[in-house]
Each structure stands twice: as C-alpha cells, then as structure tokens.
Amino acid sequence: MGKIKVASVWCEGCSGCHMSFLDMDERLVELINKGLEINATPITDLKIPDEGTDIGIIEGAVATDHHEEEVKMMRERCKIIVALGDCAVFGGIPTMRNYIPREELLERGYITTESTVDGKIPTSPEIGKHLPKTKAVNEVIKVDLYVPGCPPSADAIYYVLKEVLEGRIPKLEGELLKYE
C-alpha cells in the first residue's frame, strides 16, 4: 500500500477537533506506520496541501473569506473531504453570530467592549473578512464524509482514517457517534 496523504485546516472553531486528532496517541503512529502521511495541518504549521492529497480534513465553520478560500483549495487538492466536528458539519456555535448584523458584531467586539480604549475595527488584509453568514462546510464545497461531535472522539477519527487507509468507506454508528 502506498502513502495516503492527509491534510487538515482549522477554520472557525476552538481546535478541539485537532486536539481529538492528537488524542489518538499511539494509534496515530500506528496509522503512520500503515501509510498515513500528514503533509499540511495546523499541527505541522504547513498550510498548503500537496496537489493530489488523499484526505482533506476540515475543522470549524466557514466564517471569513480566508476560510472560504481555504476550504475551496482543500476541495481542489484533496480527493476525499472530511467535515470534522459539529462546527464543520452543522456550523456549530460559530453560527450564533448569524443572528447579529456583521457591523454590530464587529463594533461590539473591537470598539464598545468594556475593556477597550480607543478601539478600532482591524482592516489589515492579513485578517480574514467576516462573511455575511457563518456556514457549515457543505454550504461552500462538496463534503464526502461527516464526523460530527463537539469534539468527535479520538476513536471516531481513528476509525474513519483506518477505514479509508484500508480502502473502505467508513460508516459511523453506535458508540462512535457518542461524545461528551
């Protein structure tokens, strides 16, 4: 079996899904020994997946123009896209901001908070601009596999990666869909 390249991105969320990924502990080494190759993730601080990456894992909701560009690049470069965690699958907690007009949200966050003095809404092009609405990943690109949970368990992530490594389509059910 050849190498199976995996890349991941972290959009709007808490990074709990990547923490669960790391919670696979020694099973991550087992997957690497079976052919898993991690080529671009927040864990490696490499942000651009190779062309032809086999599995693209997306954590978090799509909240900014930068997130939108990242998930579209993942779709272009990855054969299988996995939406990891409730924020990626459903939009999750970040979609709560959809009930507040964007300008009001930015003003509250950067100007009128009680601890802010001479606040200013940042305008650097290095910072992503909020989209009018925060979205689940499948509202932006086609998603092939969904791994819900907040965060999904390390067992669920391990199962999905192992199944794909062995050429099967994972079917999450039972205990793998339980999380705290």
Question: What percentage of the chain's residues is helix, strand, coil (to nearest 5)?
Answer: 40, 20, 40
Whole-Å CA distances, 94 to 47, 87, 100, 118, 131: 22, 7, 12, 27, 12
The residue range of the domain holding 165 is 4-92+133-170
pTM to 2 decimals? 0.92
Cβ neighbours of residue 39 closer than 8 Å, sequence gap 6 or more: 5, 6, 7, 46, 49, 50, 53
Helix (H) or strand (E) holding 4: strand 4-10
In a domain, 105, yes or no: no
Does residue 31 fall inside a structural domain? yes
CATH number at residue 70: 3.40.50.700
Residue 99 domain-assigned? Answer: no
Query: What is the CA 174 to chain-centroid distance, rounded?
Result: 23
The pLDDT of residue 1: 56
Mean pLDDT by 10 residues, the chain (180 residues): 88 94 94 92 85 96 97 97 97 96 92 94 92 97 96 95 92 83
H or E segment at 88? helix 86-90
Q: Find, among 17, 12, 19, the residue nearest to 95 by Cα.
A: 12
Q: In total, how many domains does the chain have?
A: 1
Predicted local distance difference test score (pLDDT) of residue 180: 67
- Asked whether residue 115 is assigned to any structural domain, the reply reads no
In-domain check, residue 104? no
- The per-residue pLDDT for 44 is 81
| Type of residue numbered 173 | E
pLDDT value of residue 136: 98
